[in-house]
Amino acid sequence: MTYQPGLFNGKRALVAGATQGIGATIANHLAALGAQVTALGLGAGDGTLQAAVQVRQADVTSSADLDAALADIGELDIVFNCAGIIKRGAEHDLEVFEQVLAVNLTGTMRVCTAARERLKARRGCIVNTASMLSFFGGGLVPGYSASKGGVAQLTKSLAIAYAPDGIRVNAVAPGWIATPLTQALQDDPARAGPILARTPLARWGTPDDVARAAMFLCTPAAAFMTGVVLPVDGGYMVS
């Protein structure tokens, strides 16, 4: 942990898509820094969430699910949108394409909309999860690329729309991060080799790398930042 202990004492945080991977790591970081954290997800998780994190079942494609999950939460300080899916190769099928957009893009908007009034009361902040593929496409993942590009532009649009409410809206754009979503690539030297060769820091990123950068966007040090899409990619996009 690289932040002052107790940094988020007294803060209420919501993390959507928090039962595994980057979302779970972010939820754990928030809790370790003192926040009261509610994690939303579709299952019980992968066993990595700290006991202090409250887990609630909710599908970000369902407004009814979100309403039920947030019914007893009056105010929020921090919201993270980490819910996301990827269907490599299958996304050229229109039904699959639409499913990916429904989770990654529309789900992000749905959570932001549900949280807006709760954040307004505390002049809170939102951090969305974009991707390096927000900036360029992927032949096997047109739905994922389009949805994450949409998240980047949604972040900028909501930063403008929510500013009068005192709400800051930013995003992180992870690159090649070692999670279950990238496991097949990690296990294939023929594909992993070119990725690492192009990445100046010459390694896969970790969920901790993403979480530490994302925490910054919630701190007072970032009080004059909104509409930012922050790459966390080991320099891949600039190489």
Whether 131 contacts 147, CB under 8 Å: no
Where would I find the beta strands (DSSP E) of 21-124? 36-41, 54-57, 78-81
Mapped onto helix, strand or coil, the DSSP state of residue 78 is strand
| pLDDT the model gives residue 46 | 72
Name the residue range of residue 37's domain.
12-238
The chain-wide mean pLDDT, for the chain, equals 96
Question: Residues of the chain whose pLDDT is less than 50?
Answer: none
| pLDDT the model gives residue 2 | 79
Task: Provide the CATH number for the domain around residue 95.
Answer: 3.40.50.720
| pLDDT the model gives residue 180 | 84
| pLDDT the model gives residue 181 | 81
Residue 2 lies in a domain: no
Kindly report the pTM of this predicted structure.
0.96
Q: Which of 3, 144, 162, 236 is catalytic?
A: 144
Any catalytic annotation for residue 144?
Answer: yes
| pLDDT the model gives residue 1 | 59
Mapped onto helix, strand or coil, the DSSP state of residue 85 is coil
Q: How many domains, in total, are found in the chain?
A: 1
Phi-psi region of 234 (alpha: psi -120 to 50; beta: other; left: phi over 0): left
Residue 123 lies in a domain: yes
